[in-house]
Amino acid sequence: SAVISQKPSRDICQRGTSLTIQCQVDSQVTMMFWYRQQPGQSLTLIATANQGSEATYESGFVIDKFPISRPNLTFSTLTVSNMSPEDSSIYLCSTKGPQNNEQFFGPGTRLTVL
Amino acid sequence: QKEVEQDPGPLSVPEGAIVSLNCTYSNSAFQYFMWYRQYSRKGPELLMYTYSSGNKEDGRFTAQVDKSSKYISLFIRDSQPSDSATYLCAIQGGSEKLVFGKGTKLTVNP
């Protein structure tokens, strides 16, 4: 499976500010995914990011709030914009493995918004 | 009805016990079934992946899928304290999207 790293591992931010989370994969991958894991809730897909095209957002998530970049086949960023305490969560990036339907996850970014 | 239902537990068992973790799902179009293990403050780790009804075994872990009942299970034999984690079921249909259960927190006591 690919090795996935994320930066930062955690952060505490003030409301109204923005945070950009980086995801780096050790091999080239076509699809990268961003998930949110809120306390007591299921892992929820935010968007799918393919290199060279606009990210595809799931219902309830919009580009203005969660802009995503995918500049190459090994890297992606997710920005959480104009944060509120409701954005406190773990944010995870994910990629598909060599087997067609396996998905692997990074270690996550733990965000607290005050 | 939620797409995937999973009892959040917590579940506490003695070392050596057989553990049964379960999920139900509502959409018969789901084709692929996965179990992830997530240690505290870590990302989910893929444990088992299957796409057909029946059993798949990997060491002490057995994944079971019953498509007719829309029911999936993960069995852990001879459970160890190192198995203490949250276990997430995930199900996938024709798209790339994974739909997760809320996770079951398991503690194996020495």
For residue range A3-61, what is the model confidence (pLDDT) as tens digits? 999 999 999 999 999 999 999 999 999 889 999 999 888 999 999 998 888 899 999 99
Res B1: pLDDT: 66
Residue carrying the six token digits 């995937």: B4
- Sequence length of chain B is 110
Res B17: pLDDT: 97
Distance from the Cα of A106 to chain B's closest Cα (Å) equals: 6
Contact B46 A31 (CB under 8 A): no
Among B48, B58, B31, B50, which residue's Cα sits nearest to residue B87? B48
HSE-CB of B59 using CA atoms within 13 angstroms: 6
Res A4: pLDDT: 95
Instruction: Specify the higher pLDDT residue, B64 or A102.
Output: B64
**Residue A45: count of CB within 10 angstroms of its CB:** 22
Rounded average pLDDT over B7-35: 92
Is the pLDDT score of A100 beyond 80?
Answer: no
Is the pLDDT score of B90 beyond 70?
Answer: yes
Res A114: pLDDT: 96
Res A2: pLDDT: 81
Across chain A, mean pLDDT equals 93
Is the pLDDT score of B3 beyond 70?
Answer: yes
Distance from the Cα of A76 to chain B's closest Cα (Å) equals: 17
Percent of all residues in chain B with a pLDDT value above 90, rounded to a whole number: 74
Q: State which amino acid sits at residue B98.
A: L
**Residue B62: count of CB within 10 angstroms of its CB:** 17
Task: Please tell me if residue A11 touches chain B, with a CB cutoff of 8 Å.
Answer: no
Whether the CB-CB separation of B85 and B39 falls below 8 Å is answered with yes
Across chain B, mean pLDDT equals 92
